[in-house]
Amino acid sequence: MYSFFAYLDRMKYINRWSLMRSNDQENIMEHSAQVCMIAHALAVIGNVYFGKNYNADKVVSIALFHETSEVITGDLPTPIKYYNPQIRDAYKAIEEVANDKLIGMLPDEMQPVYASLIKADKDLPESKLVKYADKLSAYVKCLGELKGSNNEFKKAKKTIEHDIKNIDSKEVEFFMEHFIKPYSLTLDELD
Q: What is the pLDDT of residues 16-75, one digit of tens each?
A: 655 555 666 778 899 999 999 999 999 999 999 999 999 999 999 999 999 998 888 877
Looking at residue 23, its pLDDT comes to 61
Model pLDDT for residues 91-130, shown as the tens digit of each residue: 889 999 999 999 999 999 999 999 999 999 999 999 999 9
Q: 145 vs 10, which has greater pLDDT?
A: 145
Average pLDDT over residues 140-168: 91
Q: Is the CB of residue 33 less than 8 Å from the CB of residue 138?
A: no
pLDDT, residue 185, reads: 81
Domain 4-190: homologous superfamily in CATH: Hypothetical protein af1432 (1.10.3210.10)
Q: 17-34: string of b/e by CB count within 10 Å (b at 16+)? A: beeeebeeebbbbebbeb
Residues 6 or more apart whose CB falls under 8 angstroms from that of 72 comprise: 98, 101, 102
Of the candidate ranges 74-78, 84-88, 104-108, the one whose mean pLDDT is the lowest? 74-78
Q: What is the pLDDT of residue 127?
A: 98
C-alpha–C-alpha distance, residues 41 and 44, integer Å = 5
